[in-house]
Chain A
């Protein structure tokens, strides 16, 4: 068979880089760069460059397995699927639909997420969610409230048109490296880049103004910036009058929020807060880029709204080079949410507690008794498993043991289930706890659409066949659904996409025949529509079309330093690993670059504690202890410890405290202690 090249979309982060795989005799043997891709222009980060090591990995799951006693026994697909059907049906019969929990996957295609969510709701369960809960739930809630839509307002390449880029709580240079080229383009044209982060990250290296903020104090900084902008008259009065509501309430609420007050809380010199506010407010086009440093807090929703307030009072929305840009983590986390794999939304963000939603989907799906109301979120399902409300779970392509906060609690909860089936490409800490493991195809072994962080829907092609008996998630979900008495008779992703075209208005014009090399940015309401790269040009997506200025007040993080735990632990990602690490830790060219967990600690703290470079230390929080190599570095300030969460164990340490509105755990702040291992 001759060499051929197949276009796929990179499976790692949500930038959605084009990844062309060359194959020989049915094996993936090489990567070609695609300079024509609208976002990546041929670039790939280290993970994308190493992605073939995932496809060809010797650890891939290649047949269904059932746990018999303590060992895994190989079984046939027939037996495996029958078992899933029987056990889920039994739970449904014995304990009702609310006893079932479904975790869809932000790694799977839109079509697969749509079917998982449809399966859950068609059998009557409201409990379907995905790991967006752990990254951008506050963006979904906060931006929906403020702007009426949760996605990035402007696409990635539009950053080149910004003249001030305010990056807060995002280490994009490591987590979304390919975006860097667009930041550089803006800088080449004279843009000022402001970076706020507790660490001097590689992203801070791009900054003209660096704000080293104390973890969890973002609202104080943002409120002080807003107050300065108001006091100095840098607001956009016309924009406020024509397009927003709530401005006077904000003026009132910010009375106490001086730059000096914020300096005391955030540890950022007032002068720098002033500079940043001025640069952001007065530049002809300013954008805000944020990520998990904003959302993964008990104040996550507040943080998001404070950012939206800043953009609204300065009129930095609805034009080229402006906007609020939440960078999403997983390749299809945007799509999984669009498809309704969220506890509070049916597909297309139709509220689950609105009877009209249920009515319209009952018609579309020809289904009786679709559930009304918000279901349990991913962390709530874990709680539910623990207290017996959830009896059976179907987890697709997620590893909550490593990705949720407080891993020990998650492990106990999942172990107590009556039935757990996990579908994945590798054995993970979560699938180890399952009764049944189903081998899935990876991204290059199937086709369908992924929606990147900028709402760009792209078609990805099948490059190679799945290994052994592994099957696409789409096929597996359909087979399970059919065994539960449903009729999921889809020939393939294209047929599911055409159903999505009918049921999700923003995707109506995103049809298979139109998905060429560049994809389409939703909303795309009809077949002739070119897509909508920039949101909110004329009006916001709120009921009255106005942006809502919603004042928020500063609250401290749930855990502050104490005598027992005097340090602040903050977690994050590094360039060569991805999330729970099930792919990157198995990828030799990545793992050899960062093989072990480490804890970054300031040289002053290290000296005081007698910790030397590279020695093993114990990091302890109220929930547990983890060993890591000490990495003494000026990147972190004194009093702060940073750990990447790619290695099993980091989330033993993190706090279970959650944002009350969005349900996201506070991964970014935990009180900890660090000590030499004796």
Chain B
């Protein structure tokens, strides 16, 4: 159950970054990057089914745990190999690895709870339905002389 992102809804305000940073002692797990001069893309751990970070982790700090990749800070040595093994570049490390923990055990990640644009969701169905609907709508608007 990762956090799904709807780029069409994201306004790049960075509320998620600030909230995540506050919830994780100053170390944010999400970053909002501008794209193509108009869009903004929040990037964070996908909680991959075949998590390469967990495969390479020496200490057992990163493990696949049901539908999430969980992280046990007590086991982490900060060796940094997980950051090198993440295909999406969304893990970073200093003395410890930092990546989205879904604000476990909270019911809802703080980024999802706080997003002013409802661009983040833990429900894939919500995001995919919206994206499909938007694509259809966009073509309808273009197709007409006026609306």
Interface status of B15 (Cβ within 8 A of chain A): yes
- Would you give the 0/1 interface string for B98-138, flagging 1 where the beta carbon is closer than 8 Å to chain A? 00000000000010011111100000000000100110010
* B21 and A44 contacting across the interface, CB-CB below 8 Å: no
Residues of A578-624 at the interface with B, using a CB-CB cut-off of 8 Å, are 589-590, 593
Interface status of B96 (Cβ within 8 A of chain A): no
- Would you give the 0/1 interface string for B1-31, flagging 1 where the beta carbon is closer than 8 Å to chain A? 0000000010111110111011000000000
Interface status of A576 (Cβ within 8 A of chain B): yes
Q: Which of B13, B18, B115 is within 8 Å of A589, CB to CB?
A: B18
Give every chain A residue within 8 A of B13 (Cβ-Cβ): 45-46, 173-174, 177, 202, 575-576
Residues of B66-85 at the interface with A, using a CB-CB cut-off of 8 Å, are none
Q: Which of B17, B21, B37, B117 has most A Cβ within 10 Å?
A: B117
Interface status of A289 (Cβ within 8 A of chain B): no
Q: Which of A42, A187, A190 is within 8 Å of B114, CB to CB?
A: A42
The answer to whether residues A184 and B22 also contact, given A42-B113, A279-B147 and a CB cut-off of 8 A, is no
* A46 and B11 contacting across the interface, CB-CB below 8 Å: no
Q: Which residue of A lies closest to B6 (CB)?
A: A184
Interface status of A274 (Cβ within 8 A of chain B): yes
Give every chain A residue within 8 A of B38 (Cβ-Cβ): 200, 204-205, 634-635
The answer to whether residues A275 and B110 also contact, given A31-B22, A44-B19 and a CB cut-off of 8 A, is no
Q: Which residue of A lies closest to B117 (CB)?
A: A180
Residues of A43-96 at the interface with B, using a CB-CB cut-off of 8 Å, are 43-46, 48-50, 52
Interface status of A33 (Cβ within 8 A of chain B): yes
* B18 and A46 contacting across the interface, CB-CB below 8 Å: yes
* B118 and A46 contacting across the interface, CB-CB below 8 Å: no
Number of interchain pairs (Cβ within 8 Å): 106
Give every chain B residue within 8 A of A206 (Cβ-Cβ): 11
Q: Which of A52, A180, A275, A278 is within 8 Å of B116, CB to CB?
A: A180
Interface size on A, residues (CB 8 A): 45
* B11 and A49 contacting across the interface, CB-CB below 8 Å: no
Interface status of B90 (Cβ within 8 A of chain A): no
Interface status of A35 (Cβ within 8 A of chain B): yes
* B14 and A593 contacting across the interface, CB-CB below 8 Å: yes
* B137 and A190 contacting across the interface, CB-CB below 8 Å: yes
* A44 and B11 contacting across the interface, CB-CB below 8 Å: no
- Cα A52 to Cα B19 with chains together (Å): 11
The answer to whether residues A50 and B113 also contact, given A177-B15, A204-B38, A278-B147 and a CB cut-off of 8 A, is no
* A177 and B116 contacting across the interface, CB-CB below 8 Å: yes
* B115 and A43 contacting across the interface, CB-CB below 8 Å: yes
- Cα A64 to Cα B14 with chains together (Å): 36
* A634 and B15 contacting across the interface, CB-CB below 8 Å: no
Give every chain B residue within 8 A of A635 (Cβ-Cβ): 37-38
* B110 and A33 contacting across the interface, CB-CB below 8 Å: yes
* A173 and B11 contacting across the interface, CB-CB below 8 Å: yes
Give every chain B residue within 8 A of A593 (Cβ-Cβ): 14, 17
* A33 and B147 contacting across the interface, CB-CB below 8 Å: no
- Cα A342 to Cα B46 with chains together (Å): 53
Interface status of A518 (Cβ within 8 A of chain B): no
Interface status of A526 (Cβ within 8 A of chain B): no
The answer to whether residues A192 and B14 also contact, given A180-B116, A202-B40, A205-B39 and a CB cut-off of 8 A, is no
10 A-B pairs with C-beta separation under 8 A: A43-B118, A46-B18, A173-B13, A177-B117, A179-B116, A181-B116, A202-B13, A206-B11, A275-B147, A278-B146
Q: Which 8 A-B pairs have the closest CB atoms?
A: A177-B116, A173-B11, A49-B18, A180-B117, A575-B13, A178-B116, A46-B18, A33-B113
User: Which A residues lie at the B interface, using CB under 8 A?
Assistant: 30-31, 33, 35, 42-46, 48-50, 52, 164, 173-174, 177-181, 184, 187-188, 190, 192, 200, 202-206, 208, 274-275, 278-279, 575-576, 589-590, 593, 633-635
